[in-house]
Structure 1
Amino acid sequence: MPQHPAIILVSETRADFLLDEFGRYVRDYTLLGATSAAEAEALAQQIVDDGGQVALFVTEARLPDSAVLLALHRWRVVVPTARRMVAAHWEDFLETAEALRPGLATGKYDAFLLMPRGARDEEFHTAVCELLSDWGSTVAAPEVTTAEVVAEPGNALAVAIREFFARMGMPSATYAPASEVGKAAAEEWRTTHGTEPTYPLVSHIRGGVIAPTTVRDVAALIYGRPDSIDPEGANAIVDLCIVGAGPAGLAAAVYGASEGLSTVAVEAEAIGGQAGTSSMIRNYLGFPRGVSGMRLAQRARSQAIRFGTRFFTGWEVTGLTPGADGAPHVLHTDGGDLHARTVVLSTGVTYRKLGVEPLEALVGLGVHYGSAMSVAREMEGADVVVVGGGNSAGQAALHLARFARSVTIVVRREGLEATMSSYLIKEISYHHRVTVRPFTSVVDGGGGGRLEWLTLRDSRDGTADTVPAGGLFLLLGAEPHSDWLPAAVARDDNGYVLTGRDVPAETWSDGVPPPSLGTTVPGIFAVGDIRSGSMKRVAAASGEGSSVVPLVHAYLAGS
């Protein structure tokens, strides 16, 4: 078995060239050459049988014993978690591209590139590093952790904490209380507090051990409390407060701070919102090989911080008192109030509850709202059910299929075509582990301490059957998160915030509607999924978040 994860390089005549080209990776990966599809498959199977890992297949566009697309499929059956790249030789790049590139649209492999023609082809190796980074963040156990969670297996809060860390791009690991790490954390707790610890315990990046009772206790460690802003200081009243740090809120944070506005963003959960849970977004402009929601959020967060945005995570905004006669708006949280001249609402939407009581009791114990990427590895060999027909459900299903024995997408409709992007439907139709079950709903489930089975009902004839299930991932559509807003902020019948010409005409000022993203309260704007009529797409939300900043400037200039 290789000491490190393997990279298998496949070429009939250029295996030595590829081994030399990939020499920069020898410290962290074992490089293995193969001259045929069958040899590569045998190598991969031996590694799997020995308990090793294959991180990446790299193949030429022509193989002596198999069509490349068939070879890629067979390799995926052996190692579902490995990434797959076609590196076409420049002599036949144009000829093979037309035949092979459509395979990208169905998820048959991850990247199609021209083989390097000289030294330091960093464009080529940027793609390699992106694939290895994606593999490392979703498959491999972290080599270095920023946090350690101590809990017995099946602790629902520990699962939620790990998911928070995963969404924040902070590698974490879980240890049993009886482990050496667990014993050390418990002893540190006893020494500091003089009492026996409760679990989970978290050893965190700031140093020390805490015994959180909610995910918010952990989130608040990272960026502190809203009331840490000095009420008497120069920045006691910020120019812009953004509520919700999904794609729309992050875009507003980047553009607001970069244009000189003192900017604060408050997020109740992990930065990135629902988009941050997406395992791979393939149709976001500028990322031809796709980007995970976590990576996208992480980069946007770093960009916003670079320009001066201050984030507060783990603090839900519970109320908003609009300012009168030019006074600042006041946002209320359990961690203190924030005062802002303008407010951008970007709280997005939340997943609807399933409403099946036995399954609600197992949330965190095999039942998860959202994709819960941090627990995907634990689904290895299990049968998994994903409920939902949107893009997030499709992305979750494909990611889970790398680990689970089978993934069933359950939808009430007759199929996915009305609610899911075409590229995802193509990938799902091709994947040998994923099936779609239409006209179906989950009506019951249970297990001994964690999820073990589900009952699925067919709406056409009312028949129900019980199936084994090690995981249930619920992506049930969306409800706006707007209950906390005052009545002065007008909403439609479904709770989405009205903006621009959609606000009631009687609230217009001198017969003029608010700006396109303005609400019924001057100085309060809404962007992204929370806004009535929004596109419900990551790129659209990012566009609204950037577009709102000129409106904020205009309001501040006239106030």
Structure 2
Amino acid sequence: MTPTLVLVSEHHSDTLREEFGRYARDYELRTARSSAEAIEVAEAVLADGGTIALFVTDSRLPDQPVLAAFHEWRRLVPTARRVIAAHWEHFITDAPGLRVGMATGKYDAYLLMPRGVRDEEFHNAITDLLSDWGSTAVDPEVVAVKIVSPAQDALTLGIRDYLDRMGMPSRVYDPDSEGGRFVRELLPDDVSYPLVYALNRPPIEARTVRDVAVAIYGAPEDFSIDQVVDVAVVGGGPAGLATAVYAASEGLSVVVLEAEAIGGQAGTSSMIRNYLGFPRGISGMRLAQRARNQALRFGTQFLTGWEVTSLEPGRDGAPHVVRTEGGAVAARSVVVSTGVAYRKLRVDPLEALVGTGVHYGAAMTAAREMEGADVYVVGGGNSAGQAAVHLARFARSVTILVRRPSLAETMSQYLIGEIDHNPRIEVRTCTEVVDGGGEGRLEWLCLEDTRSGERERVDAQGLFLLLGAEPHCDWLPPDVARDGRGFVLTGRDVPRDQWRDGLPPDNLATTLPGVFAAGDIRSGSMKRVASAAGEGASVVPLVHAWLAPEADGA
């Protein structure tokens, strides 16, 4: 059914309907003059099997305060986005009392009701929110990749999560459905599932997520990089993407090698609200894909699905060699931005259920499968908070579990505020998961109070593990110094006995000349998207300085 936009205003509903006329082709427009009437409209839409994408309301309603109305509407349709379009007579006077509600997640945007035609700033905000709703709440209308599978098993979910992170809308088809039969007819009769048909390329029988990456982007051996590049960036998260954009824009030849999905850990975030320049927030996937497209525009080459296995240091002016499973890249400089991986829970019965109710990271695709479920999120960082807020759109309940006595030490205040004001989210401090299980998928967890040792068994259909950072750089040679936890040392953090001529390396330089580190992999980094992107940009002048002697001699 066509999604619905509910427009609510006692005196200006006709104005809103006229302004939203441009959306009438793709959405049903329904108006209401009060909060109670909006609830009646929403209940009728839901009773008919429809969906509501967006509530848009005036800042003043006749029957209750608008923030109270949002509370009722969220209870009824938690996946819908919520916007205040304040009339120009009240926009400034109502703002101070209402913007507090936006900071705590009660609604998504505070806008000025358009005063004339073609108010594109207003509609840019609306389309951003509708795009976010469409990519997270419902199956896509336009499908780039067809997945054929008789069951939502761990591999099928992993493939779809990878595609979501790469910005490729996908849908799962039963083998006997029309879409399933279409793909099956392109292959021999005897096939094993899942099948993946991507972008009109030949369909494949996928054994791993990497099979899908190779089918879409090509295998390592399909590429030939004969020339020595200026910069090889290992890792396509925010730091690596920023390095690629700034280095390529300044004329350097750049290759980015990413083993998984572009965006790294940040790419799994449902909504990053504290990134500079995005007042309504931006999903990690969109931020990553915009940065990727920006880097491509300047000539960066991306090799997705390449697992880097080793780095051979260049000697006596020879380039460094970055080796992968299917080929090698020679580079005058290397920027290590591989980021971090989530630590393992190391509870064997739960490790056996990874992909079937247990997930490492936010697992955006899995969130849609949690409707009506009781879900637990383990972790106290921003990624865990963002995952909990997103899951609360679908799950009946979301419980955040942390070993610390509070979230204040590890999570941004804006997220703590959203969590405090979300009735579906509970925080349990001084608690850890010690056991769990189920028949074929997660059904229960055992929680332990770290102070008393008391244990409790709870029903659970989802467990999302965001347990903190472990470095991912075992492929680096011993020439690159690391701290006791395995993070790369740079600048003055390098031990004095490894300084050269009594001087430490430059701020983002490692102990191996011509090799730099940026982002979460670097010892002492802030573990924030903005700081990782800043380091990625800041490393480029150091790369230039390293390459300068060679450029001068050319």
Mark yes or no: TM-score above 0.5: yes
**Hey, what does 2:524 align to over in structure 1?**
533
Among candidates 113, 123, 126, match of residue 125 of structure 1: 123
**Hey, what does 1:219 align to over in structure 2?**
213
**Hey, what does 1:76 align to over in structure 2?**
74
Note the alpha carbon deviations across 1:268-306, whole angstroms, 9 max, x for none: 110000000000000000000000000100100000011
Structure 1 segment 103-502 matched on structure 2, within 5 A: 103-190=101-188, 196-230=190-224, 233=226, 236-502=227-493
Note the alpha carbon deviations across 1:397-438, whole angstroms, 9 max, x for none: 000000000001111111211110000000000001000011
Contact 2:201 2:216 in 1 (8 A): no
Q: What residue identity is the alignment partner of 2:17?
A: L
Contact 2:237 2:337 in 1 (8 A): yes
What is the rounded CA distance, in whole Å, between the counterparts of 1:155 and 1:440 in structure 2?
A: 30
Q: What residue identity is the alignment partner of 2:256?
A: A
Match of 2:520, SS state, is: helix
Q: Output the TM-score relative to the length of structure 2.
A: 0.98
**Hey, what does 2:502 align to over in structure 1?**
511
Change (3 A) 1:538 1:137: same
Match of 1:101, SS state, is: helix
Q: What RMSD in Å do the two structures reach over aligned CA positions?
A: 1.2
What is the rounded CA distance, in whole Å, between the counterparts of 1:410 and 1:535 in structure 2?
A: 23
What is the rounded CA distance, in whole Å, between the counterparts of 2:47 and 2:382 in structure 1?
A: 34
**Hey, what does 1:543 align to over in structure 2?**
534
Contact 1:227 1:338 in 2 (8 A): no
Contact 1:223 1:311 in 2 (8 A): no
- Count of aligned pairs between the two proteins: 550
Contact 1:344 1:524 in 2 (8 A): yes
Q: CA offset at residue 394 of structure 1?
A: 0.4
What is the rounded CA distance, in whole Å, between the counterparts of 1:499 and 1:480 in structure 2?
A: 15
Q: CA offset at residue 227 of structure 1?
A: 4.0
Change (3 A) 1:553 1:228: farther
Q: What residue identity is the alignment partner of 2:437?
A: G
What is the rounded CA distance, in whole Å, between the counterparts of 1:113 and 1:24 in structure 2?
A: 18
Note the alpha carbon deviations across 1:306-343, whole angstroms, 9 max, x for none: 11111111121111111101111111111211111100
Match of 1:425, SS state, is: helix
Q: CA offset at residue 352 of structure 1?
A: 0.4
Q: CA offset at residue 483 of structure 1?
A: 1.3
Q: What residue identity is the alignment partner of 1:81?
A: T
Which is further off, 8-17 or 510-519? 510-519
Q: CA offset at residue 226 of structure 1?
A: 3.8
Match of 1:554, SS state, is: helix
What is the rounded CA distance, in whole Å, between the counterparts of 2:101 and 2:452 in structure 1?
A: 38
Among candidates 22, 32, 55, match of residue 57 of structure 1: 55
What is the rounded CA distance, in whole Å, between the counterparts of 1:538 and 1:29 in structure 2?
A: 34
Note the alpha carbon deviations across 1:22-59, whole angstroms, 9 max, x for none: 00000000001100010001111221222210100000
Structure 1 unmatched runs, 5+ = none
What is the rounded CA distance, in whole Å, between the counterparts of 2:51 and 2:336 in structure 1?
A: 44
Contact 1:154 1:450 in 2 (8 A): no
Contact 1:323 1:329 in 2 (8 A): yes
Contact 2:198 2:216 in 1 (8 A): no
Q: What residue identity is the alignment partner of 1:4?
A: T
Q: What residue identity is the alignment partner of 2:383?
A: S
Match of 2:82, SS state, is: strand
**Hey, what does 1:89 align to over in structure 2?**
87
Structure 2 unmatched runs, 5+ = none
**Hey, what does 1:101 align to over in structure 2?**
99
Q: What residue identity is the alignment partner of 1:138?
A: T
Note the alpha carbon deviations across 1:63-116, whole angstroms, 9 max, x for none: 100001000111000000000000111111111001101111100100001111
What is the rounded CA distance, in whole Å, between the counterparts of 1:345 and 1:367 in structure 2?
A: 30
Q: What residue identity is the alignment partner of 1:441?
A: E
Q: What residue identity is the alignment partner of 2:410?
A: T
Q: Output the TM-score relative to the length of structure 1.
A: 0.97
Match of 1:528, SS state, is: coil
Q: What residue identity is the alignment partner of 2:216?
A: I
Q: What residue identity is the alignment partner of 2:150?
A: E
Percent of pairs with identical residues: 65
Note the alpha carbon deviations across 1:498-528, whole angstroms, 9 max, x for none: 1112112232222222211100011100000
Contact 1:491 1:498 in 2 (8 A): yes
What is the rounded CA distance, in whole Å, between the counterparts of 2:248 and 2:313 in structure 1?
A: 22
What is the rounded CA distance, in whole Å, between the counterparts of 1:412 and 1:510 in structure 2?
A: 45
Q: CA offset at residue 196 of structure 1?
A: 1.7
What is the rounded CA distance, in whole Å, between the counterparts of 1:323 and 1:229 in structure 2?
A: 22
Q: CA offset at residue 178 of structure 1?
A: 2.7
Match of 1:467, SS state, is: strand
